[in-house]
Amino acid sequence: DTGVSQNPRHKITKRGQNVTFRCDPISEHNRLYWYRQTLGQGPEFLTYFQNEAQLEKSRLLSDRFSAERPKGSFSTLEIQRTEQGDSAMYLCASTIRGADNEKLFFGSGTQLSVL
Amino acid sequence: AQSVTQLGSHVSVSEGALVLLRCNYSSSVPPYLFWYVQYPNQGLQLLLKYTSAATLVKGINGFEAEFKKSETSFHLTKPSAHMSDAAEYFCAVSPAGGTSYGKLTFGQGTILTVHP
């Protein structure tokens, strides 16, 4: 169990560029969640997957945001045409849905800065 | 709809003193409630959770929280603070069970400072 891994740790980009973040959940975790955390706020739920199926995406912040989990293992979160307001920490979490003592394991996040 | 309010964005205590971090929630359905801790440059770590069993929940590192439905509260306590408890703490609520488990609504966080 190596924990939830997120890459890159930091991303600096210019406004209008596209960015993609990767999340590797704990092996065999069937649920994967994406959250966003802005300075001074708690994390905000964005979307989640059960294996490869995206069960909810209505909370994605705009149509510039999209997420995939093509093989039910790692996931990517893409932001197209970035804006300065997208600057935040993007967090990934995973769990085994239905397991005894189920709990979310969070990664350390990807810090996005849009210049 | 659900929401969480953490009273006090900063709490400062002396080492050995009682820690009390306040959390009030609003939920239209029976809730699950959580406390998470975040150390600098680390991921959120679950301290404890309430999932409709015992109302007094014990967690890691000596923390505990009591679910009070009548007060819609889930305050976090620790009898004696340690320097290593300095961190940011988040209260969160989720609809109880079902497909919504894991879709947490977080409070704004409380930064705990522990003085020698």
| Least confident residue range of A44-48, A74-78, B41-45 | B41-45
Query: Which residues in chain A have Cβ-Cβ distances shorter than 8 Å to B44?
Result: 43, 91, 93, 104, 106
Cis peptide before A8 (omega within 30 of 0): yes
How does residue A23 score in pLDDT terms, banded at 50, 70 and 90? Answer: very high
Average pLDDT score, chain A: 92
Smallest CA–CA distance from B48 into chain A, residue? A103
What average pLDDT does the segment A72-96 reach? 95
pLDDT digits 0-9 by tens, B77-110: 999 999 999 999 999 998 776 666 788 999 999 9
CA gap B40, A11 in Å, rounded: 18
Say whether residue B105 is in contact with chain A using an 8 A CB cutoff: yes
Beta carbons of A43 and B99 less than 8 Å apart: no
Q: Nearest C-alpha of chain A: how many angstroms from B78?
A: 22
pLDDT recorded at residue B22: 98
Average pLDDT for residues A71-86, to the nearest whole number? 95
Of A39-43, B43-47, B57-61, B99-103, minimum mean pLDDT range: B99-103
Report percent pLDDT > 70 for chain B: 97
Residues A62-80, buried b or exposed e (16+ Cβ, 10 A)? eeebebebeeeebbebebe
- Asked if residue A1 has pLDDT above 70, the reply is no
According to DSSP, residue B72 is labeled T
Calculate the CA dihedral of residues A54, A57, A60, A63 and round it to 10 degrees.
100
**On the CB side of B9, how many CA atoms lie within 13 Å of its CA?**
5
Tokens of residue A91, six digits: 């967090």
Lowest mean pLDDT among B11-20, B27-36, B91-100: B91-100
Rounded to a whole number, what is the distance in Å from the CA of A8 to chain B's nearest CA? 13
Q: Do A95 and B102 touch (CB under 8 A)?
A: yes
